[in-house]
Structure 1
């Protein structure tokens, strides 16, 4: 039993979805999974296991930022033997061609976080997705008539940056969108020899200033959820 999840052995499936918002985890469990069972509520970070198209799938909230997702993913990989982890979250567009509600598949994740500097002693590590999951997610989305954007994103430590235009440097080098967790997920997947992918829906644009509501971010991005579930059981 881990410190922060505190589930029993066998409670968590080998494939798991990782929304940051625990209420999004609850929404997925109640609307997509058959026979969902809540296995944790420690610190209100909800986790559930149920059945999707005949296969066991779990969904676990991870909170916001690299330190928070690091706690949950370390425990999921180390203590519960999760093999396949798919983050489903939101991101801010930093390229003008990305529009609200676009689906982004993160092939790689740059970061300004100190976590990997500390981990690798100042060396640079390149966190990348599992190709098998990326291809499945892309093909699944394309079959549903979507045109997912695939490429590099950046995981930042600072939501309220001291320099509000800091994102423009990342955009200059073709980075598509900014969020706060993927670099750590991909790094831990590499460490533990697991598969990981981030699917992100554009919730706002730093270029245009457009944004979606908190309610929509919590419950309305169902297309991304369905693609993630199909990928998880593939």
Structure 2
């Protein structure tokens, strides 16, 4: 398998297990939380910060930002797989479509509706499932999410349609990640912090988001024991 990649220019090895935040800043914070010592920068090309190192369990871990949206996530996931990644876990944020969700809570994706162009371009026509073993290991409430292309969506009717299809939250990368992993026969899953309430436009505060992000890091790492 080729290890020459165009968008990731690795300075360190990619671990078999990878956490995938969208936000480069979150990648750094999670690497500092979960990797012992000083995390080593894996990639900084195109602003896609990534880090590798030895985690608290004594085994390698990579944390690599994907950027925003399915197209960027697809590129990063494909190139990480070229470089040796085998279990991929998205760690991001989502907006609540359901009134049952609260700001700051964790939500794992029991399925991802392909509301985005990238996952549909990869052949998705129905809800995409995470790896069952990874999903079972995530100690967080589960629900159906939808992956979309637009953060600032001018058409509120789309959210109503996704609610009717069973989605409780919306984000931008999970369906594409699941589709890429499925193409390669690899494991992927997703856990997110609820950062917004779509119907009321409420937004989590910065301190609360950082605290929830740290809890998400603990939950995600616990779900990815060394192989």
Instruction: Give the TM-score taking structure 2 as reference length.
Output: 0.90
Cα distance between partner residues in 1 of 2:161 and 2:50: 37
Gaps of 5+ in 2: none
What residue in structure 2 maps to residue 39 of structure 1?
42
**Correspondence for 2:80:** 76
Cα distance change, pair 103–195 in 1 and its aligned pair in 2 (3 A): same
Q: Structure 1 residues 119, 195: closer, same or farther in 2, change over 3 A?
A: closer
Partner of 2:60, secondary structure, is strand
- Kindly indicate whether the alpha-carbon contact (under 8 Å) linking 1:116 and 1:125 is maintained by their aligned counterparts in 2: no
In 1: Cα distance, 2:165 partner to 2:50 partner? 37
Shift of 1:216: 4.8
| Structure 1 equivalent of residue 69 of structure 2 | 65
- Give the superposed CA RMSD: 1.8
Alpha-carbon distance in 2 for matches of 1:219, 1:134: 22
Q: Does 1:207 align with 2:208?
A: no
The answer to whether the aligner puts 1:176 opposite 2:168 as a matched pair is yes
Tell me the distance in 2 between the aligned counterparts of 1:127 and 1:224.
22
For residue 27 of structure 2, what is the aligned residue in structure 1? 25
Write the distance in 2 (CA, Å) between the matches of 1:74 and 1:125. 21
TM-score by length of 1: 0.88
| Candidates 99, 120, 124, aligned match of 1:96 | 99
Count of residues paired in the alignment: 221
Structure 1: 5+ residue runs without aligned partners? Answer: 139-147
Cα separation, partners in 2 of 1:159 and 1:193, compared to 1, 3 Å: same
Q: Secondary structure at the match of 2:42?
A: strand
Tell me which residue corresponds to 1:137. 138
Corresponding residue for residue 224 of structure 1: 216
Q: Which of 9, 13, 16 is matched with 2:15 structurally?
A: 13
